[in-house]
Each structure stands twice: as C-alpha cells, then as structure tokens.
Homo-oligomer: A and B are copies of this chain.
Amino acid sequence: MHSPTQLQEIIENAIPKIVYPAHPADLYEPIRYIMSLGGKRIRPVMVLMATELFTDEINKALDVALAIETFHNFTLVHDDIMDNAPLRRGKQTVHEKWGSNNAILSGDVMMVESNKHLSKVDVNVLKPVLDTFNATAQGVCEGQQLDMEFEQRSDVSIAEYIEMIRLKTAVLLGGAMKLGAIVGGASMADAELLYNFGENLGVAFQLQDDILDVYGNPEKFGKQVGGDIMANKKTFLHLTTLALAPLDEAAPLTSTALAQAEKVSQVTQLYNKYGVKELATTEMDKYLDKAHQALNALAVAEEKKTQFRELVQQIMERDR
C-alpha cells in the first residue's frame, strides 16, 4: 500500500508525461503551465487511495486521477478569469499571461483533455465512470455559479452557503473518491460510502478554511489572515454573525469605510462576542463525523482505513 506522499509522487511524475499536441502552442502551453504549478494534488491522490482500497493495480486509476486533476485545474483557469485574479499559487494566472480569450479556450480544451483521460478506463467501468464524472463536473459549475451570485446578494442563508461549498469544493472530493472506488472494482454501496466520505470531508475542510482565515496562524496559513473579512466574503462566520447580531452591531461586517486592519479587528471582536468560531467548529465536526461514519461503514479491512483516518488528520490539522 502506498502512502499519500508516494501517491503524490506518482501524480507529480505522471503530469509532465501527459502528451498534448504541439500546435497551436498558445492553446496547449497554458495547460502545461497551470498543471505544473503544483499544489498538493489532493484530488488525484484521493482517486488512487480509493482505488487501492480495492485493488493493488492502481495504474488502472491513473488516467482517472489525471482527468480529475486536469478538470480541477480547468476550473481554476476559468474561475480566475471570473474572479479577475492576478495570481494563482504565487504565479501569474493564465489569463494574465495569455489574455482572457486564450484562457477561456485553453480551459475549454482542458475539459476535452479530462474527457480523453477518462475514456481510457476499462470499458466495463466506462459508463459509471462517465456518469460520476459528469455529475461531479456539473456540481462544481453550479457551485461556482452560486458563489458568484452570493457576491451580489445580501440575503444568503447559512443553509445556502453550506450547499454552495458542498457543490463548489466538496463534490469534487467526493467524486474523486467515488471514481477511484469504481475503477478499483468496489461495489456501488462502497463507492457511495467513499463519495460521502469525500464530500463530507470537503465541507469540513472548507469550514475550517473559513475559521483559519480569521483564527489561523499567519505563518502557517497559506493566505492572508483576515482576507475574507476584508473582502466582505459571506463565510459561515460572517453569515452566522449576521444571523445573531442586531443590525447596527453587525455593521462592520459589510463596512467599506473602515481601514482594513481596523475592520479585521472589529469583525474579529464581533465573532468572538457571538462565539461563531465555536459554532463553525461544531458545524465542521458534524461533517467530519459524517465522513468518519461513512469510512466506518465501508466493507474493507480495518487496517486499510487507517491511512484514510491519517489523511483526515493531516488535512484537518493544517495549523489549528
């Protein structure tokens, strides 16, 4: 059995070996660029981990892992256009480097490349693989749409927010797990349990991200602490405070008059007063529990589950 780190290496080694056509160079160069920017390769690793629960032949799942990583990077390219983001992983975004039109089109062809990877799986699992991938891809698009819409709305409910992060982030982790399971020869029941594991872990992960944005260790958290507050981002903490605090008291949350540091300070005090860190942690633990329940119900040997539990710990202990 491979460790997550070993699986990550397998992915890192496989990515530069993907062959794209040489021409038109400006269509394919952005794909090589974004795919080489790194990241933890968590999604393709999850595919391979799920496969390895059921078979030693993880090579069977490599194409699906690459499909998922390519799809994920495609969403980054298009999301960065929509968000007008200058940087991705500390480097220029594709649309900054090649222009928006080129970025749209390179993204489009990445979707095709994902489907090309997918089509290489054993034909006896091709149909369920496609169905799972398409449902996943559709969910991710819906999540991005909701995220964009929420920026324009002032009445987003906490339930709507959870649904948005489920679609935008968690569905892809669930999908990765389920795809790996299917390719590994899992029963549909086990594949669904792994989907639930991944999806619930994904929601927990995003909620933790909301918490760390405010309460994270600035030296360990990858982003600027307070970034969500400064951007008026409707996180779980933000929406919960809006629901609990009287309207006048909640004013700093959406204020554009306050200096950035002062705003972060006032909003953090408000969060402290209403105990929303604890409420968010309770919500996060609820999803972590669901993830563990799905894992417990899985019909594989206990020792094989250990690695998954360690993965959860690793992911969730980022820097609390």
Residues of A participating in the B interface, judged by any CB pair closer than 8 Å: 21, 23-24, 26-27, 78, 81-82, 101-102, 104-105, 107-109, 111-113, 115-116, 118-119, 123, 126-127, 130-131, 134, 137-138, 141-142, 144-146, 148-149
Contact = CB atoms under 8 A, between A and B. Distances in A.
A218 to B, nearest CB: 31
A123 B130 CA distance: 11
A27 B78 contact: no
B131 A119 contact: yes
Contacts of A115: 115, 130, 134, 137
B105 A141 contact: yes
Nearest to A126: B126
A82 B105 contact: yes
When all copies of this chain in the complex are counted, the total is 2
16 contacts: A21-B138, A23-B142, A26-B149, A78-B104, A81-B104, A102-B148, A104-B104, A108-B108, A108-B111, A111-B111, A113-B138, A115-B115, A116-B134, A119-B127, A123-B127, A126-B127
A63 to B, nearest CB: 13
Contacts of A149: 24, 26
Nearest to A109: B141
Contacts of A27: 141-142, 145
Given A115-B115, A115-B134, A134-B115, A108 B24 contact: no
A131 B130 CA distance: 13
Contact of A130 (B102, B119, B137, B148): B119
Given A26-B149, A81-B104, 18 more contacts: A24-B145, A27-B142, A27-B145, A78-B104, A78-B105, A78-B108, A82-B105, A102-B145, A105-B141, A107-B108, A108-B111, A109-B142, A111-B111, A112-B137, A115-B130, A123-B123, A123-B127, A126-B130
A24 B146 contact: yes
Contact of A105 (B101, B113, B123, B145): B145
A24 to B, nearest CB: 5
A81 B111 CA distance: 18
A24 B143 CA distance: 9
A101 B116 contact: no
Nearest to A137: B112
A19 to B, nearest CB: 13
Contact of A142 (B21, B78, B119): B21
Contacts of A145: 24, 26-27, 102, 105
Nearest to A117: B134
B138 A112 contact: yes
The 7 closest A-B pairs by CB, nearest first: A119-B130, A82-B101, A27-B145, A109-B141, A24-B145, A112-B137, A112-B138
